[in-house]
Amino acid sequence: KDYEVMAGWKQYHSDQCNGIIVVGGGSSIDCAKGVGIIASHQGSILDYEGIDTLKPPCPPMICIPTTAGSSADVSQFAIITDSQNRRKIAIISKALVPDISLISPETTMTLDSHQTAQTGMDALCHAIEALVSNASSPVTDLFSLNAISLISNHLSKAVNNLKDIKHRDPLMLASMEAGFAFSNASLGAVHAMAHALGGYSDANHGESNALLLPHVIRFNFKSATDRYLRIGKAMDLDFIGKTQEQARDILLNHLIQLTQEYGLNMKLSNLGYTLSDIPQLARTAIKDPCLLTNPRPVSIGELEELYAEAL
């Protein structure tokens, strides 16, 4: 949150620090990035919303991620909550890529099954949205597809065998590769809508992504059919002899089954949202930079319809 970033900067300043080491998940890492921004730029963290708003370099940063999901340890994104206006802002700059990231599956061994599932679904969503992004490239596609394959093969096994590092290891690799992909290709409507949920009511990011992903895929499918078919094949789904609509439904049903398996199959209404919340959520999501790379243009009315479907 914005006030946590400013409190962190005060500590950084009072202790005359000259670098940052951060241990934790995506929120911890983004908070540390925010502290680094203020240490080199001054002002309020909310002043730096947007793309390439940073000029001086940030202090040196070493990341030790403890989840296989956020990819904040390798990305140029920092997502900060504007607590007064109940929204999340995105700060996007190459200056935010950490200098060193010590990435090891051993740091994820204390995650419980729910944390493992929700962070894994976050990484899966990163890879999927990067692959269908209108800013994707052959290089980011390689990372996306391998991340999707690794998550598909190992996430369920990790959730059911929490202390087995041989499944944690490929998930950590997948998270890193998905981070390389979306840091360069950006994301889409799932993340724009999830950021709005998180800012509005502190909704868990991984859960929000899992909830919204099938609805957004259905909306986007005709605009990126070949890429969604590649995603299904990376998940080892059988599309042989199927029409495009049948293949779409196989992919959607598979993702829905995963959320049910992981206990992430809630609706927005289960999280306390009502129809009256939707206009504000849509007004916030329409301003999110992740929408710029969604494969299909999205209007504010369509965002309201997607939120209503997820209700």
Mean pLDDT in residue range 266-280: 91
The two beta strands, 77-82 and 87-92, are antiparallel
pLDDT tens digit sequence for 227-240:
999 999 999 999 99
For residues 54 and 97, is the Cβ–Cβ distance under 8 A?
A: no
Q: Report the C-alpha gap between 269 and 263 in whole angstroms.
A: 15
Count of CB atoms within 10 A of residue 260's CB?
A: 10
Q: Report the C-alpha gap between 221 and 217 in whole angstroms.
A: 6
pLDDT tens digit sequence for 110-158:
999 999 999 999 999 999 999 999 999 999 999 999 999 999 999 999 9
Amino acid identity for residue 102 in this structure: L
What percent of the chain is modeled with pLDDT above 90?
Answer: 91
What is the pTM assigned to this prediction?
0.94
Residues in the chain: 311
